[in-house]
Structure 1
């Protein structure tokens, strides 16, 4: 018997296993450290519930919930807890726009008035067309005029005002919300200003060209194909036993925010969980595919995510190196991350990936804080630690 060869074979067999065990042990240590940081930030800030997921190379490698979905009833916040996700919803509207384009029902560069039952005309530039590309990059010149937009929030349930009625009243010169102040004094495509109502208008165009309400079109082309069976746009579509209470932390006071909805629901109305949003985000990062199920063609996903601003073709107030836009898809963190985030009463969410699509993070909290700097500091502190954990898993090939 050749003892030397046998020993070499045994060493070659066991060394990879030892490295794997060591890496797994280190991962457990990192996960415990992550738990400690998240809990500490929640305690110091007053966040009631937090849910998060880390995605590495298009796979969920970590997912967890902390605190409460309902503090009074002691219902824990889990990855399956449903809550409003605010402006991350805009990406769902964007997918629907791109799906309608795939089906040949609209063009990104056609005048939007081609598709609408009323006219949308910037009175400062009446001969300039507004396009879906403008709507999707926040360069349409449409602005969210206050207090009209804020007053549209309906507390107590879904909004009784329809999307179409609100938009007609906002854009029709005879409408009760109409004003020249609904538009910037900037030519479409030349100036960046974030606009919720512009996204709502894009969602309404999808309804007009497909003949389906946006919530049903989303269900047929996103939610069902990706297995997002607990996701919807309206309170009436959600299992309320899984739905989080939303909170407002003001000093030592913690107030419950009633359920609410908006007539402009395509700008922020999706209600889902960390778990199901992870499935959707993986599809966005993976050429439109999750678990073998297709949401969009890869070429369509690439068009949606292609950054639109360049050094010679950009809004006058944007530096493309630090801020850029795809179609209903944006860069953040100084241009180092891509995806979307959202803020609404009782809601702060992020769904972001690094530019390589190798490491991605989803983070929810069901609590508004009285000082934005506190939320920014503690929420971002958790967010940054989640990314560090993702890079550790990636680099150690766990």
Structure 2
């Protein structure tokens, strides 16, 4: 377990605690936060856990618990990298928006024009599929049987079966349930395959492998560790194993580096190879850098990744649930932007800090659950990651939201710690 503060905050601590920051710099409250989060982790029998709280846009409180690798008894710490699951989609969205800013992608243009093959809903062949639809999960695509067959059989650099063989009716991996029954555009259904198409789009437009584009254009400029390609990741010994009931499910490399040759891969052939939907490995501390970049309108520590107006475009509501126009995913999804999940704060649903609106993303895979959400106006945010359960069974749902119990309980602890009712909006 460790606690860290930004340099400006340390300067303030050497003088006196400013009234506006009492909730952060009070030693009593700081110790209470550690104890409360430790209680959450212990009560829910988590293998390991990381949580980072951001207040006033800059000050961090970092918490770690448990083990990243049970066999090696390796404790979770600042260097621990997790496969953050669907939060990865936010990095994919930023990659698309960088190409949008460069004038290389029109969000409302038929993506078939970029992909080099026709992407059409078989029942609505006259309706173009756009990047905006893919980013907002309104494309009509579904994670059908073909998606899972393709993921287990064709995700190798040398595979002759590109992503088009999953998406087109004549393709080897296509199944009818890859598309819903509704017309693309108005109807929302969360689907991982959308990000596979977006990853392929990034490759086609940039001419680079998806993992390398994200590393060069986003991760390295922000000083983030990890990447989308586990075979070329640095610091593999810091990668957390993902567990269900103490049994390893993914990323069990025992500190050794897995090998794979990517020299045969052609960019634009199959972006799903690099897992744009869920395979980004990074630490909680690095993920906060990414979150702060979005909180600060596309800039972090003097490095600009996106323009403020581009971030605002991403954050804006593209789809809003009206009770009939989509699948709310157990009442969790009520609004979506161009990549971000928009939190509306509905009790029993997408509630994090009361009714405070937020943007970000959640993730779940191989026993891991993860969250990254923030409110820009108040300058607050939270990152939560656990690499799984010690006990058998699955995560229980929370009492007041559609999030799982460890997530909801962490949010409640952080909300109390931040004392949101006394916070004034940032200028």
Task: Determine if the TM-score, normalized by the shorter chain, exceeds 0.5.
Answer: yes
Question: Which band: TM-score by shorter chain?
Answer: 0.7 to 0.9
- Asked if 1:225 corresponds to 2:217, the answer is no
The CA distance in 1 between the partners of 2:394 and 2:289, in whole Å, is: 32
Structure 1 residue 264 displacement after superposition: 6.1
The CA distance in 2 between the partners of 1:391 and 1:270, in whole Å, is: 32
Match for residue 258 of structure 1 among 240, 243, 250: 250
Q: 1:391 to 1:212 in 2, by over 3 A?
A: farther
- What corresponds to 2:369 in structure 1? 348
Structure 1 residue 27 displacement after superposition: 2.6
- What corresponds to 2:307 in structure 1? 297
Alignment of 1:273-352 (within 5 A): 273-309=283-319, 316-317=325-326, 323-332=334-343, 333-334=345-346, 336-352=357-373
- What corresponds to 1:367 in structure 2? 388
The CA distance in 1 between the partners of 2:282 and 2:63, in whole Å, is: 15
- What corresponds to 2:7 in structure 1? none
Match for residue 236 of structure 1 among 224, 231, 238: 231
- What corresponds to 2:277 in structure 1? 267
User: Under a length normalisation based on structure 1, what TM-score does the superposition of the two structures give?
Assistant: 0.84
Alignment of 1:69-148 (within 5 A): 69-146=68-145, 148=146
Q: Is the 8 A contact 1:56 1:393 kept in 2?
A: no
Residue 79 of structure 1 aligns to a residue whose secondary structure is coil
The CA distance in 2 between the partners of 1:25 and 1:137, in whole Å, is: 35
Structure with greater helix share of residues = 1
The CA distance in 2 between the partners of 1:191 and 1:22, in whole Å, is: 43
- Where structure 2 has 5 or more consecutive residues not aligned to the other structure, the ranges are 1-14, 253-257, 259-271, 351-356, 399-403
Structure 1 residue 355 displacement after superposition: 6.0
Residue 380 of structure 1 aligns to a residue whose secondary structure is helix
Q: Is the 8 A contact 1:45 1:374 kept in 2?
A: no
Paired residues, what number? 373
- What corresponds to 2:26 in structure 1? 27
1:267-313 Cα deviation digits (max 9, x unpaired): 1111000111111100011011000001111111111112223699x
The CA distance in 1 between the partners of 2:72 and 2:421, in whole Å, is: 36
Larger radius of gyration: 1
| Structure 1, 23-32 or 58-67: larger mean CA deviation | 23-32
User: Under a length normalisation based on structure 2, what TM-score does the superposition of the two structures give?
Assistant: 0.79
Q: 1:114 to 1:26 in 2, by over 3 A?
A: closer
The CA distance in 1 between the partners of 2:324 and 2:380, in whole Å, is: 30
Structure 1 residue 220 displacement after superposition: 1.7
Residue 221 of structure 2 aligns to a residue whose secondary structure is coil
Q: 1:318 to 1:358 in 2, by over 3 A?
A: farther
1:302-343 Cα deviation digits (max 9, x unpaired): 11112223699x972489997111101111343633111100
- Where structure 1 has 5 or more consecutive residues not aligned to the other structure, the ranges are 1-15
Q: Is the 8 A contact 1:109 1:131 kept in 2?
A: yes
Q: Is the 8 A contact 1:138 1:192 kept in 2?
A: yes
Q: Output the aligned Cα RMSD.
A: 3.2
Larger RCO of the pair (alpha carbons < 8 Å, separation 6+): 1
Match for residue 147 of structure 2 among 133, 146, 149: 149
Q: Is the 8 A contact 1:112 1:130 kept in 2?
A: yes
